[in-house]
């Protein structure tokens, strides 16, 4: 066994990425404080061909050294937009036919492993603030709340970890 060289990885150019068929999933970051988490969201969005990344409220935006350090150039490939009011964006995406999916622990959440996305449906997946989670107003607008099963003492994951798990799950189930 040997590690593959970079030229063996069949990486897309930025132009090829922009032309590629995307997963019918957009992501909303609802007031994320950590610029490293934002950079990680870009990198994960690039890895799994996410349609668009929305940076909401206080969420930092490129160009910023801390985002760039974690994103490794994905800010150039992934379509993104900053929005002042994530709630208004979620309402607009819902009106545009997206199923709104918040990643949050609520009384009627569905465990991620029990969720099966529909192939032709468009999804908007919302990840919330590191301390407060997804805002109550966005949770109320959500069609579904998904929860990542956890069995330890914390029942809390870093947003970059949660985003990776959820996006991989959507990608795996939809592709």
Given a cut of 90, whether residue 6 has pLDDT beyond it is: no
For 48-65, how does the pLDDT look when each residue is reduced to its tens digit (9 = 90+)?
999 999 999 999 999 999
Report d(CA 143, CA 128) in Å as an integer.
16
pLDDT at residue 113, as a whole number: 97
Q: Is the pLDDT of residue 175 over 90?
A: no
Q: What is the pTM of this model?
A: 0.95
Cα 142 from chain centroid (whole Å)? 15
Nearest alpha carbon to residue 80 among 69, 67, 91:
67
What is the CA angle 132-137-141, rounded to 5? Answer: 125
Q: pLDDT tens, 147-163? A: 999 999 988 999 999 99
Class of domain 19-148+155-174: alpha beta
> What does the block give as tokens for 162?
């949660």
pLDDT score recorded for residue 7 = 87
Give the mean pLDDT of 117-139. 96
Q: What is the pLDDT of residue 10?
A: 87
Residue 41, pLDDT > 90, answer yes
* pLDDT tens for each residue of 65-121: 999 999 999 999 999 999 999 999 999 999 999 999 999 999 999 999 999 999 899
């Amino acid at each position: 066994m040997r590690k593959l060289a970079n030229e063996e990885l069949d990486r897309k150019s930025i132009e090829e990425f922009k032309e590629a068929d995307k997963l019918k999933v957009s992501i909303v970051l609802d007031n994320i404080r950590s610029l490293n988490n934002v950079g990680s969201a870009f990198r994960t969005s690039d890895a799994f061909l996410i349609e668009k990344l929305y940076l909401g409220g206080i969420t930092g935006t490129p160009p910023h050294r801390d985002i760039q350090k974690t994103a490794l150039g994905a800010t150039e490939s992934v379509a993104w937009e900053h929005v002042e009011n994530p709630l208004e964006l979620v309402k607009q995406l819902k009106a545009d036919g997206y199923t709104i999916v918040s990643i949050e622990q609520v009384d009627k959440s569905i465990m991620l492993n029990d969720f099966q996305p529909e192939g032709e449906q468009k999804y908007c997946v919302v990840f919330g603030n590191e301390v407060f989670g997804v805002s109550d107003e966005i949770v109320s607008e959500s069609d579904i709340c998904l929860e990542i099963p956890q069995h330890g003492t914390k029942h809390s994951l870093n947003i970059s970890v949660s985003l990776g798990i959820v996006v991989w799950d959507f990608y795996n189930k939809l592709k």
